[in-house]
């Protein structure tokens, strides 16, 4: 176990710390137990969450890489520490919705659980001070957040990732309701997938009972947050998808 206090930290976010690596093209990403919601208004520390999310993310990234998605993930260094390619993050949060829930349900007054006529893609401007506002492609281009080519590639990758993740979670008897993705550019300016994919960034419902197995348990004070995350990991293991 490394002494993380002695490592060179580049950045500390709400749920992760990013450390320098020996190779300047790479970084080490540490998953914290901290949980936040509602743009940092609700905060807590959930024992073991970091390790569970790091393990789920590693599994999903290996599965995506195996299926032709270019990502920043290189390897697991320690249970909650990943070696990743250093990227310049595109300041967009890309949301994919298979089933209506969360902010979409509230904003448009649609019952949670409704199936839309098509998969919904949204982009938000990644800016904590503004509360990550929903924007459109025209806004993203006007603000210089991404190029037209970037957006085309982002939507194409997001759609492929959605199909792969839906299949992955169905094998675990879980419906993938919605999720958030982030993309970045590596040293050669290739657009690649970055950040975590875990119950913190996805809505995951049990296929039969619709029990929430994700961060909504924290947002809505439903209790059993870490237990639900552990259950997701257990189901991934049972489905033979734990490729560590």
CB of 7 to ligand UDP, least distance (A): 26
CA angle 22, 25, 26 (to 5 degrees): 60
132-137: Cβ within 8 A, 24+ apart: 132/39, 132/93, 134/103
Q: Would you count residue 93 as binding ligand UDP (CB under 6 A)?
A: yes
**CA dihedral in degrees (85, 87, 89, 90; nearest 10)?**
-110
Please count the residues of this chain forming the interface with ligand UDP, following the rule CB under 6 A: 13
Q: Applying CB under 6 A, which part among 23-31, 95-103, 154-162, 221-229 lies near ligand UDP?
A: 95-103
183, β-bridge pairs: 193
* Among 7, 102, 141, 185, contact with ligand UDP (rule: CB under 6 A): 102
Query: Do 184 and 194 contact (CB within 8 A), yes or no?
Result: yes
Q: Would you count residue 103 as binding ligand UDP (CB under 6 A)?
A: yes
Q: What residue number has its CB nearest to ligand UDP?
A: 102
Q: Would you count residue 182 as binding ligand UDP (CB under 6 A)?
A: no
User: Whole-angstrom Cα distance, residue 137 to residue 122?
Assistant: 9
CB of 178 to ligand UDP, least distance (A): 4
- C-alpha distances (whole Å) from 150 to each of 3, 115, 215, 218 are 38, 28, 29, 33
Which segments of the chain are extended strands (E)? 9-12, 16-20, 26-31, 34-37, 42-45, 73-78, 81-85, 88-89, 92-97, 120-125, 134-135, 174-185, 191-194, 202-206
CB of 169 to ligand UDP, least distance (A): 12
Q: In terms of CB distance, is 28 or 132 closer to ligand UDP? A: 132
Query: Do 157 and 151 contact (CB within 8 A), yes or no?
Result: no
**CA dihedral in degrees (198, 201, 207, 211; nearest 10)?**
100
Q: Would you count residue 79 as binding ligand UDP (CB under 6 A)?
A: no
Q: In terms of CB distance, is 58 or 213 closer to ligand UDP? A: 213
CB of 84 to ligand UDP, least distance (A): 18
* Among 203, 212, 217, 235, contact with ligand UDP (rule: CB under 6 A): 203
Q: Applying CB under 6 A, which part among 57-65, 72-80, 83-91, 200-208 lies near ligand UDP?
A: 200-208
CB of 95 to ligand UDP, least distance (A): 5
User: Whole-angstrom Cα distance, residue 37 to residue 105?
Assistant: 17
The footprint of ligand UDP on residues 162-181 (CB under 6 A) is 178-180
Q: In terms of CB distance, is 82 or 180 closer to ligand UDP? A: 180
Q: Which two tokens stand for residue 9?
A: 């930290």
Q: In terms of CB distance, is 21 or 197 closer to ligand UDP? A: 197
Judged by the rule CB under 6 A, the positions of this chain that interact with ligand UDP are 93, 95, 102-104, 132, 178-180, 201-203, 215
């Amino acid at each position: 176990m490394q002494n993380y206090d002695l490592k060179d930290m580049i950045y500390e976010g709400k749920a992760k710390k990013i450390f320098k690596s020996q190779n300047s093209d790479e970084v080490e990403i540490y998953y914290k137990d901290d949980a936040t919601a509602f743009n940092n208004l609700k905060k807590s520390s959930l024992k073991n969450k970091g390790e569970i999310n790091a393990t789920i993310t590693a599994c999903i990234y290996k599965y995506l890489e195996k299926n032709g998605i270019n990502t920043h993930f290189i390897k697991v260094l320690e249970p909650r520490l990943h070696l990743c390619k250093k990227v310049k993050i595109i300041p967009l949060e890309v949301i994919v919705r298979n089933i209506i829930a969360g902010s979409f349900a509230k904003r448009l007054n649609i019952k949670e659980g409704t199936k839309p006529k098509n998969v919904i893609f949204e982009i938000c401007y990644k800016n904590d001070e503004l509360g990550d506002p929903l924007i459109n492609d025209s806004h993203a281009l006007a603000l210089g957040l991404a190029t037209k080519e970037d957006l085309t590639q982002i939507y194409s990758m997001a759609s492929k990732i959605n199909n792969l993740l839906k299949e992955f979670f169905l094998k675990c008897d879980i419906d993938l309701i919605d999720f958030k993705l982030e993309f970045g550019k590596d040293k050669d300016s290739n657009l690649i997938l970055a950040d975590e994919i875990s119950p913190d960034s996805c809505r995951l419902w049990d296929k039969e009972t619709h029990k929430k197995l994700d961060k909504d348990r924290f947002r809505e004070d439903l209790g059993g947050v870490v237990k639900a995350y552990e259950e997701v990991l257990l189901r991934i293991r049972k489905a033979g998808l734990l490729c560590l």
